[in-house]
Amino acid sequence: MKIAFTASQKPGAKTLMDGFVGLYGNHDAGDADVIVPIGGDGFMLKTLRRNMSLIRRGLPVFGMNRGTVGFLMNRIEMDDLPNRIQQAKSATVSPLRMEAVAKGGSISELAFNEVSLFRQTQQAAHIGIAVDGLTRLDRLIADGVLVATPAGSTAYNLSAHGPVLPLGADILALTPISSFRPRRWRGALLPNAARVRFEIIDPELRPVSAAADNQEIRHVHSVEIEQDHETKLTLLFDSDHGLDERILREQFAT
């Protein structure tokens, strides 16, 4: 098995990578059967972005956790890695595509967990929300709002009290962040074919930034989001610890 190892700047990640390379060798991603990033969830997202063209063509990713949470990663074990990878369960995920119109122009980004809008100052954000061309909220007054995929629903979406979505649910979570008005609005569940548009009200007075995972664009005027169903990425997980089981377990966490 040809493995392409890569490591984050987390303490010990480079040392671990050296140990794995000593046992199994190392290959360029373009010549590999699998990519193995060693780090946290943030490094996994960076790895997916850096190798997008290869992963789109079917190159799988088996992450190993050297971060804090490691929800998208597997446990660190040096022994019998090729067999672990061969026995792993696969999870196919499609990212969100964000089209943002900002002060400096239009920007397109992909997000595997969520697209989030945040107020940039002490002023609350005022945001209009439309779904498939129909206005659903004339004005949300909040710290922000986000759209999350099922794979990302246990990340920032969960911290914002959004719902945990089963991996095969074919829905997206639309979740407010510290909503002030409407005070009791807790968000919505949308079909994964929905196109969501956020329109920033008074963007000069109440500036808002948009983040596609960890890619931030400041001073946005409008943001459109839909799932990119043509892009399918394969993540691998130990057979006793699949992503669908992790997501289900989060729904019963106390």
- pLDDT tens for 30-67 read 999 999 999 998 899 899 989 999 998 899 999 999 97
Summarize the confidence of residues 91-120 as an average pLDDT: 94
Q: Any idea where the domains of the chain sit in the sequence?
A: 3-94+232-250, 96-227
Reported as a pLDDT band with limits 50, 70 and 90, residue 166 is confident
pLDDT score, position 196: 98
C-alpha atoms less than 13 angstroms from C-alpha of 82 in its C-beta half-sphere:
10
Backbone φ and ψ for 248, nearest 5 degrees, come out as -60, -40
Judge whether residue 20 has pLDDT over 70.
yes
Q: Which two tokens stand for residue 233?
A: 């990425």
Q: Which two tokens stand for residue 137?
A: 């909220």
Which member of 33, 41, 79, 80 is catalytic? Answer: 41
Assign 3 to helix, strand or coil: strand
Summarize the confidence of residues 182-203 as an average pLDDT: 95
Entry pTM: 0.86
Reported as a pLDDT band with limits 50, 70 and 90, residue 254 is low
pLDDT score, position 110: 94
DSSP code for 30: G
Query: How would you label 10-38 residue by residue, b for 16+ Cβ within 10 Å and e otherwise?
Result: beebeebbeebeeebebbebeebebbbbb
Closest by CA position to 22, among listed 66, 86, 65, 81: 81
Q: Which two tokens stand for residue 28?
A: 């360029």
pLDDT score, position 151: 87
Reported as a pLDDT band with limits 50, 70 and 90, residue 86 is very high
Q: Which two tokens stand for residue 15?
A: 């040392």
**Residue 182: cis peptide before it, omega within 30 degrees of 0:** yes
Mean per-residue pLDDT of the chain:
92
Summarize the confidence of residues 180-201 as an average pLDDT: 95
What CATH number is given for 3-94+232-250 in this structure?
3.40.50.10330
Residue 44: what residue type? Answer: M
Judge whether residue 241 has pLDDT over 80.
no
Decide if 41 is catalytic.
yes
**Dihedral sign, CA of 121, 124, 126, 132?**
positive
Q: What percent of the chain has pLDDT over 90?
A: 77
Q: Which two tokens stand for residue 151?
A: 């794979």
Yes or no: is domain 96-227 CATH 3.40.50.1100? no
